[in-house]
Every structure is written in C-alpha cells, then in structure tokens.
Amino acid sequence: MKHTFTELYTMSSQLTTLVQTFDGSNYQLWSKAMKAWLQLQGLWGFVDGTIVRPADPATGAAAADVAAAEAAIAAWVRSNDMAMGNLVLHLNPSIQESLGAFTAAEVVWDNLRDHYGAATIPQVYKDFKEVINICINPNTHPSVQLDRMAAAFQRLSHVAVGTAPNVTHLSLPSQMQAMIALAALPYKWEHLIHIIINNYEIEALTFEVVKDAVTNQWGTEVNCGGHKGSHNAQKLSAVKCKCGNLRFNQQQGSLQQRTDDSGSQQFNNQRGQRGKGKGKGKGKDKGKQQANNRVCLDNTCHPLSPPVNPRNGKILNWS
C-alpha cells in the first residue's frame, strides 16, 4: 500500500502528537500508546508476530508462483519497515543505538519489552506516591484528578512480582482504591464520605462508586451556581470602568485639596508679612517658593496652581 507525501506527513504529525518518546522510564505509557497507534495503522500484526513473513518460492516453481511469492514478500517487507520506522522514531537516541541492526519489528518490540517492561522499584514508588498525594480540588472538574488516580492504580496492577507459576501483582483491591479516593476529597465534600460509607456494603464499594458520587456533586453545584464566582469575577474585571482609574482620581482629589490649602495658607502669610523685610533676600526667597510650588506623587512632580484670593477670586502672584 503506497501513501502520498501529504498522507505520510499527516501520519507523522499525528504520531508525534499521540505517542510520546520512549526514554527508558515510561515504558508502560509508551507501549500502550504505541500499540494503539500501530493498530490504527494496521501494522500491529507485524509487531506481535501474527503476520509472518511469507515463505520463499519453492525451487523449480512456476514463474507465476515465483512472481506471486516475491510480491507477497515485498509487501510484507514494506509493512514491516513501516512498523520499524514508527517504533524507532519514537525512541530516545541512546536507545536507538542500543538496538543494533535489528531488521524485524517483532524483534525490536520484544527486545524493548525484555529490557524495560519489568517495573522497577522507583517506578512503582512514583505511581504509589502519586496515588496518595492527589487532593481533589473542588474548584475544578474532579474527573481530571480522579482519572490520574485511576491510571496510577492501573499501572500498579500491571506490576508482576515473582516468577511463574508463583506470580503476583500489585493490584490494590477495589475497596482500598475507594478508600484512597475518599481520603483525597476536600473538606467541602466531606459529607460525601459519610453518605457513601453508610449506604454501601464493603463488597459493593469501588473506586467507580466514589468517582460517580464526586462527579455528580460537582454537576449539582455547577447547576446551582456554586462555581460561578470566579467566572463572574473575570467578567466584572473585563468591564471598562466609566469613572476612570479610581486610584488616580483619589490622588488628583488629594492633590487639589493640598493645592487649595497651600494657596489659602500662603495668602494669609503674605498678608501678615506685607511690608516686612522689603528688598531683603528677595531673590533667595523667590527661589525657595518656586522649589516649594511643586508636589510629588509616585515619583512625579506636578506644579501647584497659584493661590486665589478667597474675597475677590483674583489670582495672586507666587512672589
């Protein structure tokens, strides 16, 4: 089956988006995603060995039989190469080098499974810690965090301990999974704990029971407007205030008040000192007045308005 350049480019982009690169520590996640991708492309049979390489044509076979056998072999090789390409392109460069000169997708897959498929203690501890550290946030949809918890439970259930025929798995009982999920609920939803533990028998208590109860609680609060506060706050903040910047207006009002008070005080001082010290230090006093005729707010100096005679409304000179 031949593909056009556009089809190959689209397939490559989808592979990059849907399947993460295998770096040696994420085999469980990578192998599931890669298997699903190869199944989607119709190539998984070349990886799990169910589609085997056709036999070579028999010696002395008819020309038509030889041609048919060679065509079947060529088609298998082409599909096997596509499966190999999908696998190798999503491997860390150091892991690619370790594969050597493998030519069959089945051999590559089995090699990766043998080297990285067995769970290590750090990986098991990481999944276990993720399970017990999840705390449900009542302000976001709980399914996201509950799905993370379920995925960690699933990964732990695949961890095999021992060898055949005495193999056990680290699968937590469904009741234990439910208890861990209940312990992750916030204080706001503690009433759900009492409802669940008082209305379910231990045999019927599962993780799905807790998930359904929490999801229904979230939906009820959304329908009743319990989660609209932050949304309304965002809408209010987006409304343009017609009165302008409140802080700036307060500063301007304070500035105007200080200006009026300064003008009245200066007018009274001038009346009291009229005729005193004429011609003495006039230039120096004028310079001081000009320096004081400014007010600074937010590191920016603004000139003050000249004082006004409160009796006749005429503007007085600074000097």
Q: Give the integer Cα–Cα distance in Å for 119 and 258.
A: 75
Report the candidate in 175, 134, 140, 179 with the shortest Cα–Cα distance to residue 152.
134
Q: How many domains does the chain have?
A: 2
Report the candidate in 192, 209, 215, 191 with the shortest Cα–Cα distance to residue 141.
215
Q: What's the rounded mean pLDDT across residues 88-92?
A: 89
DSSP state string for 227-271: T-HHHHHHHHHHSPPTT--HHHHHHHHHHHHHHHHHHHHHHHHHH
Q: How many helices (H) and strands (E) does the chain have?
A: 14, 4
Q: Domain range spanning residue 180?
A: 121-227
Rounded to the nearest 5°, which phi and psi values hold at 15?
-60, -45
**Please, are residues 116 and 128 in contact by the beta-carbon 8 Å criterion?**
no
- Amino acid found at 48: D
Q: Tell me, yes or no, whether 87 and 136 share the same domain.
A: no
Q: Tell me, yes or no, whether 40 and 94 share the same domain.
A: yes
Q: Is residue 235 part of a domain?
A: no
Q: What's the rounded mean pLDDT across residues 272-285?
A: 48
Q: What is the dihedral of CA 7, 8, 13, 16, to 10 degrees?
A: 140
Report the candidate in 145, 114, 260 with the shortest Cα–Cα distance to residue 102.
114
Q: Is residue 240 part of a domain?
A: no
Q: Tell me, yes or no, whether 149 and 86 share the same domain.
A: no
pLDDT at 268 over 80: no
Instruction: Tell me, letter by letter, the H, E, C secondary structure of 119-131.
Output: CCHHHHHHHHHHH
Q: Which of 201, 227, 253 is the last residue of a domain?
A: 227
Q: Is residue 82 part of a domain?
A: yes
Q: Give the integer Cα–Cα distance in Å for 296 and 231.
A: 39
Joined together, the tokens standing for residue 60 give 């002395």
Residue 140 confidence (pLDDT): 92
Q: Is residue 245 part of a domain?
A: no
Q: Is residue 237 part of a domain?
A: no
Q: Give the integer Cα–Cα distance in Å for 256 and 290.
A: 18
Q: Give the integer Cα–Cα distance in Å for 200 and 194.
A: 10
Q: Is residue 21 part of a domain?
A: yes
Q: Tell me, yes or no, whether 129 and 203 share the same domain.
A: yes
Residue 303 confidence (pLDDT): 56
Residue 89 confidence (pLDDT): 87
**Please, are residues 37 and 23 in contact by the beta-carbon 8 Å criterion?**
no
- Tens digits of per-residue pLDDT, 10-33? 554 555 567 888 888 788 888 888
Q: Tell me, yes or no, whether 9 and 107 share the same domain.
A: yes
Q: Tell me, yes or no, whether 135 and 207 share the same domain.
A: yes
Joined together, the tokens standing for residue 74 give 């060529």
pTM over 0.95: no
Q: Give the integer Cα–Cα distance in Å for 210 and 147.
A: 12
- Tens digits of per-residue pLDDT, 50-61? 999 999 988 888
Q: Is residue 196 part of a domain?
A: yes
Q: Which of 76, 95, 116 is the last residue of a domain?
A: 116
Query: In this predicted model, which residue has the larger pLDDT, 161 or 175?
Result: 175
Q: Tell me, yes or no, whether 107 and 141 share the same domain.
A: no
Residue 137 confidence (pLDDT): 92
Contacts of 80 (CB under 8 A, 6+ apart): 46, 53, 104, 105
Q: Give the integer Cα–Cα distance in Å for 297 and 41.
A: 68
Distances (CA, A) of 109 to 46, 118, 243: 10, 14, 68
pLDDT at 80 over 90: yes
Q: Tell me, yes or no, whether 107 and 130 share the same domain.
A: no
Q: Which of 227, 250, 274 is the last residue of a domain?
A: 227
Report the candidate in 45, 43, 46, 15 with the shortest Cα–Cα distance to residue 30.
15
Q: Give the integer Cα–Cα distance in Å for 90 and 209.
A: 38
Q: Is residue 279 part of a domain?
A: no
Rounded to the nearest 5°, which phi and psi values hold at 135?
-125, 125
Q: Tell me, yes or no, whether 38 and 126 share the same domain.
A: no
Rounded to the nearest 5°, which phi and psi values hold at 318?
-60, -40
Q: Tell me, yes or no, whether 105 and 16 share the same domain.
A: yes
